[in-house]
Amino acid sequence: MTGDHHSESSKTPLVSIGTAIVVVLFVPMLLYSLGPEGPLKVGDVVFATDRHRVKFLDPILHKVQGYQDFCILESRVQLVVQKIGVMSGSLMIAEPIGVEKNNVPYCPPRVSVFLYPYQGTLKPDLWGGLRDTLSNLVPGR
C-alpha cells in the first residue's frame, strides 16, 4: 500500500507542471487570436485569409510566364502592403513574400497584386496553422 501512495503523489506534480506548460503556451495564442487587429499601414505584413484569386497590378509583365491577369494566393501567404486606398478606397496593393508554390496559376514572389481587405488580415490564422502542423505530423496524409 505504501508503494501505491508514493506513485500517486509523484504523478501529481507532473500533471501540475504539464498543465502549467499548456496554459503558458496556449493562453497567449488564444488572447492574440481574439484581440483587435488595429489599423493597417504601408509596410505591414498581412496574411491571406484563404485561397484567393487576385489581379496583377501590371498583368502584361506576367503574360510571358503563362499567367492571365490574375494569380492564386494560398491561405496564410504573407504579403507586404505597398499602398492603401487604391481606386475604390478599400483596395490595396501588396507583394507576396511567403510563397510556397512558384508556378502558374499561383502568385510568384515579389509581384504587385491588388488585395481587398477581406483577403488579408494582420493576424495569421493560428488555428489553421496549428491544424496543418499537426496533420503533417500524422503519417499517411
Determine the Cα–Cα distance for residues 78 and 98; give it in Å rounded to an integer: 5
Question: pTM surpassing 0.85?
Answer: no
Q: What is the pLDDT of residues 2-47, one digit of tens each?
A: 555 555 555 678 888 888 888 888 887 777 666 667 788 899 999 8
Q: Give pairs for 18-23: CB < 8 Å, separation 24+.
A: none
Query: Domain residue spans in the chain?
Result: 2-35, 45-126
How many C-beta atoms lie closer than 10 Å to residue 113's C-beta? 25
